[in-house]
């Protein structure tokens, strides 16, 4: 497994998104996915306090056990966890991180991320609290999620001599290329790593969803009508089918195309795809080794409606 950098951290080019832990997966299924990830060479595990209302962190910490130091452990805070438990106010930042450390059974987070901007707290105050946690050894690097380019620039200016965001995690896939408009360029200016979430468009870019067909049983889009309406659009399904045909022409799968294309973007440090089974983990881990030729990239741009 190739590795890339997030600040001072070396992370596997394909990571594991842990949003299924504690929701779709119980502890035993979580442990089997974690085991498969480690066996496949995945060292970057990304979770959040809000996933499963803390259960994702609890299950992940327990499943890793004594192997915690073999991985780069990332979590997020800031989403609503209960009355007064949200946002980026300094007191809550410290409380949220302590809670995550306890659930994950560790004394530090490798990457601590603000899950979304907090309009009620100046970013300088959040960064000051995070810097204190870095200085205390409880956090190695800090990051953010769902930030615009302007918010990233504001955060860099507000950080002063203190800890700065080393990464940003935004939605990015072959079916959602919005970060190319401004955020990726800002990452380049700041030397930040980019972490795409929904890299497989909630399964649409795996080939499991077909135009005119209902979502397969037990898939995320089968059990969540709101997500199904968002991702299973006529345009998305038609584009995915066209991309799958293009991949097949190259002797590859749609999954390989989706993951390898993202890893070909300069700022992308790791594709953190979720998984609900060991087989999915192994497929994701194996999907990132294709260096896509320039002529194929140009055809991808045409199929996805983007200018080369």
Contact assessment for residue 56 and residue 63, using Cβ atoms and an 8 Å cutoff: no
Q: How far apart are CA 270 and CA 15, in angstroms?
A: 6
Answer for the pair 92, 31: CB distance below 8 angstroms, yes or no. Answer: no
- Residue for token digits 């360029």? 185
Cα–Cα distance between 238 and 232 in angstroms, integer? 10
- Cβ–Cβ contacts within 10 Å for residue 30, how many? 24
Which candidate, 219, 217, 218, places its Cα nearest to that of 204? 219
Closest CA to 56 of 274, 302, 308: 274
Q: Are strands 44-46 and 72-77 parallel, antiparallel or unpaired?
A: parallel
Of 28, 51, 59, 172, catalytic = 51
DSSP class of residue 1 equals -
51 annotated active-site: yes
Torsions phi, psi for 284 (to 5 deg): -60, -45
**DSSP category for residue 128:** H
Cβ count within 10 A of residue 284? 28
Q: Any bridge partners for residue 161, and if so which?
A: none
Give the catalytic positions in this structure: 51
């Amino acid at each position: 497994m190739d590795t890339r950098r997030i600040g001072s951290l070396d992370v596997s080019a394909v990571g594991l998104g842990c949003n299924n832990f504690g929701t779709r997966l119980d502890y035993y299924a979580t442990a089997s996915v974690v085991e498969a990830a480690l066996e496949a060479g995945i060292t970057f595990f990304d979770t959040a306090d809000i996933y499963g209302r803390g259960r994702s962190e609890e299950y992940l910490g327990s499943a890793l056990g004594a192997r915690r130091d073999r991985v780069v452990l990332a979590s997020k805070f800031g989403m609503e966890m209960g009355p007064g438990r949200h946002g980026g106010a300094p007191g809550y930042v410290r409380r949220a991180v302590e809670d995550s450390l306890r659930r994950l059974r560790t004394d530090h987070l490798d990457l601590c991320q603000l899950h979304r901007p907090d309009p009620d707290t100046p970013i300088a105050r959040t960064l000051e609290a995070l810097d204190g946690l870095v200085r205390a050894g409880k956090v190695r690097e800090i990051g953010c999620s769902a930030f615009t380019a302007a918010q990233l620039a504001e955060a860099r200016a507000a950080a002063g001599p203190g800890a700065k965001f080393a990464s940003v995690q935004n939605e990015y896939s072959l079916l959602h290329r919005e970060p190319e408009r401004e955020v990726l360029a800002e990452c380049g200016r700041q030397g930040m790593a980019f972490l795409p979430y929904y890299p497989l468009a909630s399964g649409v870019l795996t080939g499991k969803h077909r135009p005119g067909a209902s979502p397969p049983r037990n898939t995320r889009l089968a059990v969540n009508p709101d997500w199904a309406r968002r991702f299973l659009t006529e345009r998305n399904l038609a584009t995915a089918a066209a991309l799958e045909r293009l991949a097949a022409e190259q002797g590859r799968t749609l999954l390989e195309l989706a993951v390898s294309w993202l890893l070909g973007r300069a700022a992308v440090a790791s594709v953190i795809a979720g998984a609900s089974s060991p087989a999915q983990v192994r497929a994701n881990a194996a999907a990132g080794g294709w260096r896509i030729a320039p002529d194929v990239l140009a055809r991808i741009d045409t199929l996805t409606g983007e200018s080369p």
